[in-house]
Structure 1
């Protein structure tokens, strides 16, 4: 007594047609048949099927699987390592394609009116997280400040973006030096760095009063995708987002104090 093709199909979550194909290919032939010619699988057949499905999940061809299972002395580890290398290469290729796709869709999401060549020249390795752009649109799309920022971004020329990115790069250098020098986030130097960022946003995108800048600070801590827009992942340091947020809040408080004098 064994297991019918229907039972094996249900347990293994493969179609009956697949099991018949494995049988015809000589990869998994049931050990028994009933008097009426029906296939009956035993425990050893199920164990072999598990091996086949494991290799199939790793995208081995049926021919390769047959070779591995046919030779009890086959170096399965060697096959797995070779497959791992190919999968890592494929992952890398797909990641490159993802970046290209993101940059193409980015035009629609951000309104940046640059050619693909110009975008690569201006932004280099800096990429924009589309999921964050979409979330931001859903969250703030109806706010006048967000609409103005999108409109002004769309109007920037290549020369504008080059100047903007150069300013942003210089600002990041100042931030990193202050952070690595151990400057207190509520100290003059750190607050001046925060103020430079606030003025940068105002100059290039939308007026950014201190209270709005404080909300941006909270977003930098709550969502790393937001922080990556001002400090790319390659330049980030542990605690840097929190440091900048504290400096931004301290700078906002400084404005309140100064306005009361």
Structure 2
């Protein structure tokens, strides 16, 4: 079949049915509806959308009805319908065009809703890959308490991001649901209460009871990354020397920051780690 490769940019008069300027050539029709000229040629070949006229020079021209048919084809194709099925529906004289359009509209709305949910999910995954948490800021406050500040996650990433343990944290945290976070938060609150009770009772670091609490603490940290005894010793030092952590633990029980450090260090020593020379490994 001869193609209109050198057709003019505007439509000419249509043979037998139109005057000059009536109808769109294949190039202009393709640009208008957002498909390639090759696609319109293929649809012409298979009888899906045939231009209803020609210019006096013999070029194909598409009428307004032809363009409307192309748009209907595009809608059906967007819904994943095969071209042969599209042709059957469009050419069925018994088909209710308005009913088909209503169904198309309903299907498109359903698809838009599904795509919007997918976009939201991707956004959450992108945020999770950065901060390691799929919770919204509102969910974080609801689970972690009114004093929780979502910006702390950014500070943590700036401070520790880039090492293997942070990568473990982001991967594990991204897989945790809101219910998972509630369980971890409950475990944390329970452990803090037991630590505070031990501190107030004068439990000696290095005792069996204190070592058991230290192991519970290390196990809780291992929810997020594989925490060795050497790492735990480094964290214990940070609890007593970092103003933010020290204020937090001393707020749970007076003197608890230093006591927790000593408890963690004593437990690390029991496992062959010298807290004075411990490194992050």
Greater radius of gyration (CA): 2
What TM-score do you get using the length of structure 2 for normalisation? 0.47
Task: Determine which structure has greater relative contact order: mean sequence separation of CA pairs < 8 Å that are 6+ residues apart, divided by chain length.
Answer: 1
What TM-score do you get using the length of structure 1 for normalisation? 0.50
